[in-house]
Amino acid sequence: MQSLIRYAAWMIASALLFSCSESEPPIDQGPTPISLDKPDYFSDQQVMPSDNPLTEEGVRLGRMLFYEKKLSQDGTISCSSCHQQEKGFSDGLQFSPGVNGTLGSMNAMALSNLHWQTRFFWNGRAVSLEEQALIPIEDPKEMNLPMKEAISRLQGDVNYPGLFQAAFGSDQVTSENIGKALAQFERTLISANSKFDKWIRGEVELSPEEELGLELFFTHPEPSIQLRGGNCGDCHLGFMTSGDPNGFAGFHNNGLDSDKSLKSGLESVTENPFDKGKFKAPSLRNIALTAPYMHDGRFSSLEEVLDHYNEHIQNSETLDVLILEASNEILDPAEPIRLYLSAEEKQAIIAFLHTLTDEEFVSNPKFSNPFN
């Protein structure tokens, strides 16, 4: 009897297996969803775009496109040429050379924790990572490749149609999906394991100098009550040490130039004269690796940056009030704007800035060149 039962069960199972294998095609599960690998103290308020969820296949494709030299006119550069992992995804140059050696006019911004930003480029002209990712491809001073040609090159490649199929359900390469894939990869560039992060998590202690630098960094000075501060955290906010992600609030005129020398900056986007000379306050994550500094790369060291804020602020009509009112001494209105930090305080701030270096981030193989 038991033999008959086992035989019947075997026949039923075989019939079901045969039926499924012969009459039903395998179910395509689609791309594999993944979540951002972020610490708890990074905000949850910034939602993932509903039309571009993060997937293993999308990130894999985006990583390849980020390092793909076919996306430049002469096949010599890629996104990674100006955004090198070991330099915090910057390039160490004042101005980056594009195809044929053509120089841009802005310093290449470092890349990290981009999911928590809502405006991109120094002047904020892109409103999403998807939009930002495509602009350098066609920019004459950068990769200088018409999008139609970029699509044709990828479509004709032996690998890319299948990668687009896996990531987006179609083997037809489109500009929209190029931007989406690049954006997915860029969203995974999370820097959150510096000494500062380890201190936040209670894993390490800061040195007395680093701790002083942290306090100065996040303190707005108030000389009337003898509260000393470096005024850095007014623009480089919170754990991200980056500009306010809400609209244009993270753009500032930080006193680099007088009225006659101010560049357009945010004004070129808003067409508001009050925004002249305002540029994005970038994240300071890995700042010790990303020299030179400022939108035009004019400062070669952190010491020069601190000297600027301490004693070389240029007044202008759009100078940020956070700088205009920041000093560790009570100023006469006729005096130049100065922060009046001591040499010891400046060095302490620089010591703290070095705690923002994330060695794991700049060596993580998940972010490295897949063609090597």
Q: Which residues pair with 107 in a beta bridge?
A: none
Residue 220 assigned to a binding site: no
CA torsion 323→324→329→334, rounded to 10°?
Answer: 150
> Do 203 and 241 contact (CB within 8 A), yes or no?
no
> Do 345 and 39 contact (CB within 8 A), yes or no?
no
Residue 232 assigned to a binding site: yes
CA 344/CA 349 separation, integer angstroms: 9
Provide the residue type at 131 as one letter.
Answer: E
Residue 252 assigned to a binding site: no
Residue 308 assigned to a binding site: no
Residue 236 assigned to a binding site: yes
CA 115/CA 49 separation, integer angstroms: 10
> CB atoms < 10 A from the CB of 17, how many?
10
CA 118/CA 110 separation, integer angstroms: 16
DSSP string, 246-315: STTTTEE--SSS-GGG---BTHHHH--GGGTTBEE----TTGGGS-SBSTT--B-SHHHHHHHHHH-PPP
Q: How is residue 83 written in tokens?
A: 């955004």
> Do 163 and 60 contact (CB within 8 A), yes or no?
yes
Burial class from Cβ neighbours inside 10 Å (0-12, 13-18, 19+) for residue 222 reads: middle
Three-class secondary structure assignment of 155-191 = HCCCCHHHHHHHHHCCCCCCHHHHHHHHHHHHHCCCC
What Cα–Cα distance (Å) separates residue 192 from each residue in 87, 169, 239? 16, 32, 9
Residue 20 assigned to a binding site: no
Binding residues: 79, 82-83, 232, 235-236
Binding residues for heme c: 79, 82-83, 232, 235-236
